[in-house]
Structure 1
Amino acid sequence: MKGWKRSIFLLQIIEEILLQQDLSHLLQKIVSLGVRFLQVDAGTLRLADSKRKFLLLKAAVGTSRSSDCISLPVDRNSIAGQSFIKGVPFLCPDISREPLYPWNNQEVKKFTSLLTVPLKTKDEILGVLSFYCRRKKYFSSFELKIAQLFASQAALAIVNKSHIDKISKLAITESLTGLYNQGYFYQRLKEELSRASRWKLPLSILFIDVDGMKNINDTYGHLKGDEILQLVAGGIKNSIREMDIAFRYGGDEFAVILPQTSSKQALIVAKRIKEQAKIKAHPYNITLSIGLVSFPEDGDDPRNLLDKADKAMYRVKQEGGDGVKKFS
């Protein structure tokens, strides 16, 4: 692509990026446009988690999200980690000679050359963009400069969208606990189920009821009841990963969506939530009844899945509460 054509295309790309309505679509659009812009075979985008300990794969084009590369530690043992830590690009003309390349990953073995650039703003490094090509020595210093220019515009778009999303979050957040509200639950569950189906990844849902809340409200009053709900919400937050999504479904009921989580793994999370709730709400002897369902084995319809989780939770209630049951 000639220089003037690249300049026009870059302006068109910036316009397309600015039109994206939410962060997930923005990230996917950045990768797809970057692949077109650089005329390569594949691309990925990773963002650092809030503790900056992992680089989480957020978007991919031309390569699948294989489970062994969803999350990379922020260290010097990977190309993405090196680029993120140092804040510099990484150009590899022949990755067969690169010791940091993940040769244990079958999906990326088909590529020959690689270019990774940090997503940098003036104040911070957000993550990294990586582009892959099947041809050796495809990336030149010119492609490197073009990729850096593209990445800088992408980083600004991500920051701006994140600020807008923080404001929008106020409309979907429940004020007492700070968790997402019921109205947002089904919207987010549909999105996560679609993503899990597309990438052939598991997903689990926990439906949680606080045992004996009526008795607590009658004994201690509704203000104390509200305080206990806040403490339970805190226990849930302490027990889940950044990628997991917690909701106050209504009254004394909570829900948690666990992406990339099998039923066996979700059972461990549920038990951890139970223990954290007891610790947080001490000395009120709080217990939880938790129902568990998983995709794909329990279905793929959002309302049907929640109904099954609700039934599993009520079976725990019928047996005296303070437990976890998988739908069966």
Structure 2
Amino acid sequence: MAQTILILGTDPEKCQELRRILQEKVSDTVVTTAVGEQIPQQELSDTIIITAEERSTGVLYRHLLGRLEDQVRRAEFLGDLIRLFSSSMEVDEILERVAVKSTEVLGDTAFIILNSEGRLRLEAAFSTSQDRLVKVLMSAMNEGSEAIGGPLLRGVLENGSRVVIENVHESPVASEMQSFFEKHGYRSLIATPIRTKEKILGAFVSLSAGPRTLGEQDVQTATALSDLSAVALEHARMVSEMQRSAITDSLTGAYNTRFFHEVLAREAARAQRYGSPLSLLMIDVDGFKLVNDTFGHLVGNKVLTQVSRIIEKTVRNTDFVFRCGGDEFGVVLPGTSLEGAMHTADKIVQKVELSRILQALGYNGSLTVSIGASEYRKGSHFETLVAEADQALYASKRSTKNTARAKGK
């Protein structure tokens, strides 16, 4: 895209002479003159303005060259960032690089802050002054990420507005923000929203220790950094959803059988290496075939979904819940002994019975589950863990059902 240069002046001959020199010296440039005319400000956003009367040819050329070099530097800078997205970097690495690279053309410190379900999380940070960065990060740890931007950052995240402060001592800002600037020695700031079409994901914040003249190019650069960060985050979300879909049962939302064997093998290897406990629950819905035959498969599907939700709510966040086919579920419990697994199993049995799933769906009848539990023994194969849990499950179903049993008990 050609750069536009506007020469302002009152002497037509001098303006034309400068125009001729510039056209000879600088390629890919559109040079225009305005003699004694008023130019609307909105037309000048991407234009280099030269006042003919105030500059000798040498000074003019050096000034112009500096402006063009700055534009080339910014273009190369954005090109480097765009190339990051064709790399194999993880999203956190890309965001970290965005923060680092931004200090080449904007302020000396940069933060990327994400909004995670109403809570602010500092995702990336960099500063050319490590001492200043450490102080800011300590504030974020003690006071939360909102300490970095205060109410101004909230405005960016809630309204998608941009904030530009060239000199905090000359700009009306909230007292909380004034305190942040004074505490950490910053004078200027640009904050732009990181957003997709659907939502605002976070904010890119660039800070400088000294006052800065922040032009439209600086704001455009910050906006471009925000947009690139949004692309990286959206791509990571889509990849995560695809990966999750590949290992998830479409009906219940629990993990699927393929992932069950992968997780169990991994956790068994970890238990073997560190000597930590590992237990497994195998769960079967009692009389599920009768439910299907009596009420139909749609009701049966709803029953499986409700049972899966009860299991998910009963176990810990560190446990894994799987649908292993039909009406059978599995739960892998890392760091849990057989005693702890039986305690969890008993809670699941009780909650399923008390939830009265069939009645909640408008049908008569009770619904229960039977559970078998086993614990990993050092040196054994993970398939042994499955076989022993299955044996305990069969023993439970042969007895009273609606109960949990452990292998050999």
- In structure 2, the CA distance between the partners of 1:79 and 1:180, relative to structure 1 (3 Å rule), is farther
1:209 offset after TM fit, Å?
Answer: 4.6
Letter in 1 for 2:218: E
Q: Contact 1:116/1:131 (CA < 8 Å) preserved in 2?
A: yes
Q: Contact 2:109/2:208 (CA < 8 Å) preserved in 1?
A: yes
Please give the secondary structure, in 2, of the residue aligned with 1:88: coil
Letter in 1 for 2:255: Y
Q: Contact 2:204/2:222 (CA < 8 Å) preserved in 1?
A: no
Please give the secondary structure, in 1, of the residue aligned with 2:101: helix
Aligned to 2:70: 2
Q: Does residue 330 of structure 2 align to residue 253 of structure 1?
A: yes
Higher relative contact order (CA 8 A, sep 6+): 1
Please give the secondary structure, in 1, of the residue aligned with 2:75: helix
Aligned to 1:34: 99
Aligned to 1:46: 114
Aligned to 1:148: 223
- In structure 2, the CA distance between the partners of 1:171 and 1:34, relative to structure 1 (3 Å rule), is same
Q: Deviations over 1:291-317 (max 9, x none)?
A: 9xxxxxxxxxxxxxxx9xxx9xx9xxx
Which one of the candidate residues 183, 196, 209 is aligned to 2:259? 183
User: RMSD value over aligned CA atoms?
Assistant: 5.5
Aligned partners of 2:356, 2:123: CA distance in 1, in Å?
36
Q: Contact 2:353/2:367 (CA < 8 Å) preserved in 1?
A: no
Which one of the candidate residues 12, 21, 39 is aligned to 2:80? 12
Q: How many residue pairs get matched?
A: 256
Please give the secondary structure, in 2, of the residue aligned with 1:66: helix
Aligned partners of 2:302, 2:174: CA distance in 1, in Å?
55
- In structure 2, the CA distance between the partners of 1:288 and 1:217, relative to structure 1 (3 Å rule), is closer
- In structure 2, the CA distance between the partners of 1:137 and 1:281, relative to structure 1 (3 Å rule), is farther
Letter in 2 for 1:128: G
Aligned partners of 1:229, 1:102: CA distance in 2, in Å?
56
Q: What pairs with 1:205-244 in structure 2 (closer than 5 Å)? A: 209=281, 213=284, 215-217=286-288, 220=291, 227-235=302-310
Aligned to 1:198: none
Letter in 1 for 2:101: R
Q: Contact 2:95/2:112 (CA < 8 Å) preserved in 1?
A: no
Q: Deviations over 1:152-186 (max 9, x none)?
A: 23323433443444334321222342233463885
Q: Contact 1:45/1:129 (CA < 8 Å) preserved in 2?
A: yes
- In structure 2, the CA distance between the partners of 1:168 and 1:117, relative to structure 1 (3 Å rule), is same
Aligned to 1:202: none
1:116 offset after TM fit, Å?
Answer: 2.3
1:136 offset after TM fit, Å?
Answer: 4.0
1:33 offset after TM fit, Å?
Answer: 1.9
Aligned to 1:99: 175
Please give the secondary structure, in 1, of the residue aligned with 2:252: coil
Query: Percent sequence identity over matched residues?
Result: 14
TM-score (norm: length of structure 1)? 0.54
**5+ unaligned residues in a row in structure 1: which ranges?**
191-205, 258-270, 292-306, 323-328
Aligned to 1:297: none
1:144 offset after TM fit, Å?
Answer: 2.6
